[in-house]
Amino acid sequence: MFFASDNSSGAAPEVMAALAAANDGFTRGYGADALTERVQDRLRELFEAPEAAVHLVATGTAANALALATVAPPWSAIFCHRHAHIAEDECGAPEFYSNGAKLVLVDGPHGRMTPEGLRATIAGTGGSVHGVQRGAVSITNVTEAGTVHTPAEIAALAAAAHDFGLPCHLDGARFANALVATGATAAEMTWKAGIDLLSFGGTKNGCLGVEAVVIFDPAKAWEFELRRKRGGHLFSKHRYLAAQMDAYLDGGLWLRLAAQANAAAARLAAGLATIPGVRQTHPVQANMMFPEWPAGTHARLQASGAVYYEMPAPEGREAARLVTSWNTTGADVDRFLAALAG
């Protein structure tokens, strides 16, 4: 009963098999191998973006920080949700990689900035030499609250960014879960909605550790490569990143895995909805939820073997973050619900 994080899961068998298959023989290093080239082509095809630059790294923090540093100057503001992963969970990686850009936090319910809130925040910055300049917007989908932006919602935020002349980044650590939740295509959720570059996550959804940075305007691609190398994120045995991503894309595995995670979450949420005293803090739309329940529940659940993060809660209540993943079983969900129902 592991609901701590989707990074608590292992890798999908197809990914492990691809890794083994890629192990044979000698290849050029640093991404100059045929498998890497194939993966780049596949991603360009998936995103319907034949000109896009595609680069692989091993962690989501690297993907986000490198992408943002490539578009946001050191003296600029990166606008994001107050609880964005880049703001709270990367130990200042965006500030480090950008040489000191400032994350300017935008409030909004359920982990989502509103277009109005974003516009007002952007409008309140920039101008004279005394303040930081407007740099970039970063949106997360699936959000840290487990909610999902539709392509239209992404488009409204990206339009706000573009109206101020700013590039718009998407942190897609759980991009597959967002697509499954909305039925959108990769292109609809990104450049067709105004996204300029994204972190396309694999790690949390059945890979070992791989993320693709997709830059729709390739003018900045070489700078990205230099930043990646300089950050120590260019793998010498690059085939192992490529093999994961290749299997991940193959036959729609990535969407199938995300669908499994989302379905497990839906089953869990449906069960929670029937238990008196349990309420969700945020709408459950993908593979992550934040239920609140009566004090004392943590002890019972954890005694039964459930593993998850505790969250702050009002007096007399307790709260949790529950994350499902591609290999969360229905049996696990049901055992959890049974333990909770007590």
Residue that the structure tokens 């692989």 belong to = 56
Distance CA 327, CA 280 (A): 23
Asked if 61 is part of the footprint of a copy of itself (rule: CB under 8 A), the reply reads: yes
Cβ closer to a copy of itself: 8 or 281? 8
Closest CA to 38 of 258, 255, 247: 247
E strands in the chain:
53-57, 76-81, 102-106, 133-140, 168-172, 197-201, 211-215, 279-280, 288-289, 291-294, 309-311, 317-323
Q: Which of 81, 233, 282, 321 binds a copy of itself (CB under 8 A)?
A: 233
Distance CA 33, CA 243 (A): 11
DSSP string, 232-286: T---SSTHHHHHHHHHHHGGGHHHHHHHHHHHHHHHHHHHHHTSTT-EESS---S
Closest CA to 46 of 295, 254, 279: 254
Cβ closer to a copy of itself: 159 or 208? 208
Window 4 to 23, contacts with a copy of itself (CB under 8 A): 4-5, 7-11, 16, 19-20, 22-23
Cβ closer to a copy of itself: 192 or 233? 233
Window 305 to 334, contacts with a copy of itself (CB under 8 A): 307
Window 203 to 232, contacts with a copy of itself (CB under 8 A): 203-204, 208-209, 223, 225-227, 229-232
Binding range to a copy of itself, per CB under 8 A, among 83-91, 158-166, 257-265, 268-276: 83-91
Cβ closer to a copy of itself: 182 or 324? 324
Query: Which residues have a Cβ under 8 Å from the Cβ of 270 and sit 6 or more positions away?
Result: none
Q: Which of 195, 234, 261, 278 binds a copy of itself (CB under 8 A)?
A: 234
Distance CA 137, CA 81 (A): 10
DSSP string, 42-72: HHHHHTT-TT-EEEEES-HHHHHHHHHHHHS
Give Cα separations from 82 to 55, 117, 137, 239, 318 (angstroms): 28, 11, 12, 37, 23
- What's the closest the beta carbon of residue 252 comes to a copy of itself, in angstroms? 21
- What's the closest the beta carbon of residue 207 comes to a copy of itself, in angstroms? 8
Cβ closer to a copy of itself: 4 or 187? 4
Cβ closer to a copy of itself: 29 or 252? 29
Binding range to a copy of itself, per CB under 8 A, among 100-108, 144-152, 190-198, 213-221: 100-108
**DSSP assignment, residue 161?**
H
Asked if 198 is part of the footprint of a copy of itself (rule: CB under 8 A), the reply reads: no
- What's the closest the beta carbon of residue 26 comes to a copy of itself, in angstroms? 3
Asked if 165 is part of the footprint of a copy of itself (rule: CB under 8 A), the reply reads: no
- Tell me the site size for a copy of itself, rule CB under 8 A: 71
Asked if 95 is part of the footprint of a copy of itself (rule: CB under 8 A), the reply reads: yes
Note whether 83 and 312 are within 8 A (CB).
Answer: no
Asked if 342 is part of the footprint of a copy of itself (rule: CB under 8 A), the reply reads: no
- What's the closest the beta carbon of residue 165 comes to a copy of itself, in angstroms? 14
Window 131 to 160, contacts with a copy of itself (CB under 8 A): 131-133
Cβ closer to a copy of itself: 156 or 207? 207
**CB-facing half-sphere around the CA of 319: CA atoms within 13 A:** 14
CA of residue 58 relative to chain centroid, distance: 13
Window 257 to 316, contacts with a copy of itself (CB under 8 A): 307
Q: Which of 46, 57, 78, 198 binds a copy of itself (CB under 8 A)?
A: 57
